[in-house]
Amino acid sequence: MSTTEKLTKEEQELLCKMVSGEISLRKIEEFLGKDDSAKLRRAFLESEKNVSLDHISTYTFDSGQVGKKNVENMIGAIQLPLGVAGEIIIHGEYAAGKYYLPLATTEGALVASVNRGCSIITKSGGATVRVFKNMMTRAPVFKFNSLLETKKFYDWVMLPETFDKIKKTADATTRFGEFLDISPFVSGNNVHLRLGFDTKDAMGMNMITIASEAITQMIADETGVECVSLSGNMCTDKKPSAINAILGRGKTVVAEVCLSKSLIQETLKCTPEAMFDVNYRKNFLGSMRAGSLGFNAHAANIVAALFLACGQDPAHVVEGSLCVTEMDFSDDGGLICSVTLPAVEVGTVGGGTSVATQQECLKLLGVAGAGNIPGENALALSEIVAAAVLAGELSLVAAQAAGHLARAHARLGR
């Protein structure tokens, strides 16, 4: 049954006004609540485009909350198949124990592949994971009339007392966030200030954008220099960049496992030598020859599936793809395998983490909401992401080393 057949008389009248252009899609919420507004937008689209939108009309989350915090002009929800991989043993500083990984995807064979990687990691005693850096960035840009003005500003930024002023200004805008660093980058008569923050359990872009705006206002008051753009792309947010690959953004995380030769042969049906060869020629030589910023098999696959399941910003999969996968021989002929993710941008509060379905996935991982110590849940989630990527990398490299990739996709991906 189409949405238009479920409308009340009042809603039919409003729909006519929408069709005539008297009421816009955005303005309909002045007359109706979130759910009914979504229903009327669907009815409008059905009448305009002659389509049925019944499937997207079904959802269980709180439309009032979602419509206020997560989406505008809501018409319903899409559904993604959700699978689970694991269990996987993780030995992190913040994530420690056995985990089942919720993975939202439409790509057949992905969950099965990660599940196989989880199995061999667990049989090997688990993945060791550590966070090496934790700093979210925002980079406003300023322009000057001359090189002398540019240098004067640069020198002022580098003064210890300037750092203190900036930190005081930034920290006053947030209860939990903390200003950590300022790094100026010069291009002609332009200066980009890469500002770094600890955002605790939030991914933190809203938090640091507000703090950065306060900083630019303080700079204008102190120096008379106006900010051209609050984001000058040296951050760098949601775009592939060497600066994030080198300096990191969000959490920089490394996960490692040592696989024995016998376990590789029994479980992955290949040899350590074959896996090493695939990783070297594919992930290193192939990526280098292609000019890739990421040196991995399919890290973005796992990052995307976990992010969608757990309410993370899916655009940050771009930074997740910067992963470097390494494999080297151990003394006993096995493999020491690791993944380095320089920019894992995750949070357990704010954004999509409060949507009911995504929050359930965070609860499954034991990281929903704020940690007892601020920041520990987001750090735990970043460790889980790294371990999951390691599982996916092991499985795919092994599948290619054994010549099983096409067979698996033919069986599971069609």
What is the C-alpha separation between 104 and 67, in angstroms, rounded? 22
What is the C-alpha separation between 89 and 81, in angstroms, rounded? 24
The pairing of beta strand 96-104 with beta strand 141-143: unpaired
Which residues are catalytic, by number? 107, 313, 409
Positive or negative torsion for Cα 325, 279, 246, 322: negative
The pair of three-digit structure tokens given for residue 129, joined into one six-digit string: 């994971």
How many angstroms separate the Cα of 368 from the Cα of each of 105, 228, 354, 362?
21, 37, 9, 5
The pair of three-digit structure tokens given for residue 406, joined into one six-digit string: 């096409």
What is the C-alpha separation between 137 and 182, in angstroms, rounded? 9
Closest by CA position to 212, among listed 250, 183, 241, 173: 173
Q: What's the chain's length in residues?
A: 414
What is the C-alpha separation between 69 and 327, in angstroms, rounded? 43
Q: Are 324 and 340 in contact (CB under 8 A)?
A: yes
Q: What angle do CA 142, 148, 150 make, to 5 degrees?
A: 15
What is the C-alpha separation between 265 and 338, in angstroms, rounded? 19
Task: Look at the block and give the residue holding tokens 């100026």.
Answer: 184
How many angstroms separate the Cα of 298 from the Cα of each of 185, 294, 321?
32, 10, 8
Task: Look at the block and give the residue holding tokens 């890290």.
Answer: 299
Closest by CA position to 199, among listed 366, 379, 343: 379
Closest by CA position to 112, among listed 281, 272, 263, 305: 305
Those residues with Cβ within 8 angstroms of residue 381's Cβ, 6 or more apart along the chain or in another chain: 95, 310, 346, 347, 348, 362, 365, 367
DSSP strand E in 13-91: where?
Answer: 82-91
How many angstroms separate the Cα of 122 from the Cα of each of 88, 210, 317, 338, 384?
5, 42, 26, 15, 14
